[in-house]
């Protein structure tokens, strides 16, 4: 089989990636910059910035002198490699062999793949359109060798698909830079008048070796296919998955439980050796009628305890319909997290959130009532009550701020509900308020506590909060919006104290 290769070139890789992540920059001319020899140099330029005359390699000071509205962003080292790897992983759906071509390209071995998309033209069109839809300015070319495809995609204006054994004619009209040569060699070729590759192909190899070394000859032979080129393919992350094939179809719950236990033993052994724990696991059951049923569990913190995970799956077995029988079980852990290995204490068990028993209890409760029914809240650095807390992402997440020292209700009413209030003096606490047609007579009151609106989020009046206790002993958190003597002052119930 004739080997075929595709080279993909991202003309504005980093700037396209940043514009995709930050849509507000799409309509602005911006560049990436980094310090080089006591100067701030442009390392990547967006299309709009290039139109204004800001190109890669130019000093930022010169670019801003020509265009004062230029937006400059600091370049993060290694950003191109990470972005290319993500794009390369996405291209694995088109071919199993994809390699990074730093700093701005990918190389794909497409041998035997193009016919699935109706031929090489449809294959190239499919990939390029997908990348452009994702916001990347991408070009692609196909040839018999990676070197020829690399040169054609960057320097040829027409014919991105080179027929079999036509790479010599395809690269002959291209400039020497299409051979991936070192800058010193390119400078020497330019001084000698080599404007394209054709004269180099007609020159004796001995003469080229004496003047330019073996690097030039190697690149020519690689582009022509005389020397095979090796490159390291991207290895996709290995999924945490285990399979169990049954000799006879499983129809009963005890058999399903045994299968889950065997799969968990294999999976947890691997996770323990890698220092990881399950946060989410999915059991896929393939039935003999061709259908698939699945159940899943989630954990509050990473766990590789077989007994704990098995208890969670036992709560889900009733949801599995084996029908005529299950012939294949597949256990996947799409979400895992690193676990710290701590030394076991003889005389004391970990307390608080570090206690594994607490995490396991929450997992069992979540298996019965649902993971969304259990929430942990952390303080947030906002004065406005609705924004003063956030939902924690995990049991181990640490708070970044302290809870307010002033008393706050256990539960808030969202949104605050309008109430009718009677007060002895307009700026005093209420003596009576009516909520949902129920009258509450106030026995004790504390306040006010004024909370100003965060003007950078929205506009509106401040709030004066009061803690009220009625004659039945129930305690409430109410507030007046605005000054007491204003026409639009309103009273609201915002929370209940325990």
Q: What is the pLDDT at residue 397? A: 75
How far, in Å, CA of 137 to CA of 157, rounded? 15
Alpha-helical runs (H) found in 281-403: 306-314, 356-369
Among the four given CATH numbers 3.30.70.270, 1.10.3720.10, 3.20.20.70, 1.20.210.10, the one describing domain 1-237: 3.30.70.270
Question: Quick one: pLDDT band at residue 90, thresholds 50, 70, 90?
Answer: very high
Q: What is the pLDDT at residue 342? A: 53
Alpha-helical runs (H) found in 31-161: 47-51, 60-66, 79-91, 120-133, 146-155
Q: What is the pLDDT at residue 83? A: 93
Q: Which two tokens stand for residue 360?
A: 């396991």
Output phi, psi for 422, to 5 deg. -125, 130
Question: Quick one: pLDDT band at residue 388, thresholds 50, 70, 90?
Answer: confident
The domain ranges of the chain are: 1-237, 241-338, 411-496
Percent above pLDDT 90 for the chain: 54
Q: Longest C-alpha distance within the chain, in Å? A: 107
Residue 287: pLDDT above 50?
yes
The overall pTM is greater than 0.75? no
Segment 166-200, tens digit of pLDDT: 999 999 999 999 999 999 999 999 998 899 999 99
Segment 210-264, tens digit of pLDDT: 888 899 999 999 999 999 988 889 987 768 899 999 989 999 999 999 999 999 9
How far, in Å, CA of 414 to CA of 390, rounded? 14
Q: CA neighbours within 13 Å on the CB side: how many for 122?
A: 7
Output phi, psi for 69, to 5 deg. -90, 10
Nearest alpha-carbon partner for 177 in 158, 194, 162: 194
CB distance 427 to 495 below 8 Å: no
Residue 364: pLDDT above 50?
yes
Residue 140: pLDDT above 70?
yes
CATH number of 241-338: 3.30.1490.100
Whether a cis peptide bond, with omega within 30° of 0, leads into 448 is yes
How far, in Å, CA of 422 to CA of 336, rounded? 56
Give a three-class secondary structure readout of 244-303.
Answer: EEEEEEECCHHHHHHHHHHHHHHHHHHHHHHCEEEEEEEEEEEECCCCEEEEEEEEEEEE
Q: What is the pLDDT at residue 379? A: 81
Q: What is the pLDDT at residue 24? A: 86
With the CA atoms of 188, 192, 196 and 197 taken in that order, what torsion angle do they form, in degrees rounded to the nearest 10?
-70
First-to-last alpha carbon distance for the chain, in angstroms, is 76
Q: What is the pLDDT at residue 107? A: 96
Residue 352: pLDDT above 60?
no
Q: What does DSSP say about strands 71-74 and 30-36: parallel, antiparallel, or unpaired?
A: parallel
Calculate the alpha carbon distances from 90 to 3, 131, 135 in Å. 22, 10, 14
Distance of CA 77 to the CA centre of its chain: 18
């Amino acid at each position: 089989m004739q080997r075929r290769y595709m080279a993909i070139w991202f003309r504005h890789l980093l700037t396209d990636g940043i514009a995709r992540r930050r849509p507000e920059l799409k309509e602005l001319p911006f560049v990436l910059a980094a310090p080089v020899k006591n100067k701030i140099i442009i390392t990547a330029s967006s299309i709009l910035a290039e139109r204004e005359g800001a190109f890669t390699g130019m000093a930022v000071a010169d670019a801003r002198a020509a265009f004062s509205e230029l937006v400059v962003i600091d370049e993060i080292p290694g950003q191109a490699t990470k972005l290319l790897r993500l794009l390369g992983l996405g291209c694995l759906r088109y071919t199993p062999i994809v390699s990074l071509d730093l700093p701005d390209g990918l190389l794909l071995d497409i041998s035997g793949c193009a016919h699935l998309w109706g031929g090489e033209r449809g294959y190239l069109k499919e990939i390029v359109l997908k990348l452009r839809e994702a916001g990347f300015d991408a070009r692609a070319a196909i040839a018999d060798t990676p070197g020829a495809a690399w040169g054609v995609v960057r320097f040829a204006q027409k014919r991105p698909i080179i027929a079999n054994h036509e790479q010599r004619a395809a690269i002959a009209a291209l400039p020497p830079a299409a051979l991936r040569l070192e800058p010193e060699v390119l400078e020497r070729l330019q001084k000698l008048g080599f404007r394209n590759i054709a004269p180099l192909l007609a020159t004796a190899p001995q003469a080229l070796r004496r003047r330019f070394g073996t690097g030039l000859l190697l690149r020519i032979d690689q582009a022509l296919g005389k020397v095979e080129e090796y490159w390291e393919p991207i290895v996709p992350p290995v999924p945490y998955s285990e399979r169990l094939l049954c000799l006879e179809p499983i129809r009963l719950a005890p058999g399903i439980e045994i299968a889950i236990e065997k799969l968990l033993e294999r999976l947890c052994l691997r996770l323990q050796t890698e220092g990881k724990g399950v946060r989410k696991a999915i059991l896929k059951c393939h039935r003999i009628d061709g259908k698939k049923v699945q159940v899943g569990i989630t954990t509050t913190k990473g766990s590789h305890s077989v007994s704990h995970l098995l208890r969670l799956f036992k709560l889900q077995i009733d949801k599995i319909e084996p029908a005529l029988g299950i012939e294949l079980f597949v256990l996947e852990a799409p979400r895992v997290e690193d676990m710290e290995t701590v030394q076991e204490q003889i005389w004391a068990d970990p307390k608080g959130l570090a206690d594994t028993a607490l995490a396991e209890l929450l997992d069992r409760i979540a298996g019965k009532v649902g993971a969304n029914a259990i929430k942990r809240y952390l303080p947030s650095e906002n004065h406005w009550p609705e924004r003063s807390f956030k939902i924690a992402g995990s049991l181990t997440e640490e708070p970044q701020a302290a809870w307010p020292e002033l008393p706050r209700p256990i539960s808030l009413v969202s949104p605050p509900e309008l109430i009718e209030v009677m007060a002895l003096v307009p700026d005093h606490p209420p003596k009576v308020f009516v909520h949902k047609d129920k009258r509450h007579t106030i026995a004790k009151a504390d306040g006010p506590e004024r909370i100003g609106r965060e003007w950078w989020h929205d506009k509106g009046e401040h709030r004066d909060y009061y803690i009220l206790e009625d004659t039945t002993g129930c305690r409430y958190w109410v507030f007046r919006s605005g000054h007491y003597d204003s026409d639009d002052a309103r009273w609201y119930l915002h929370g209940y104290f325990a």
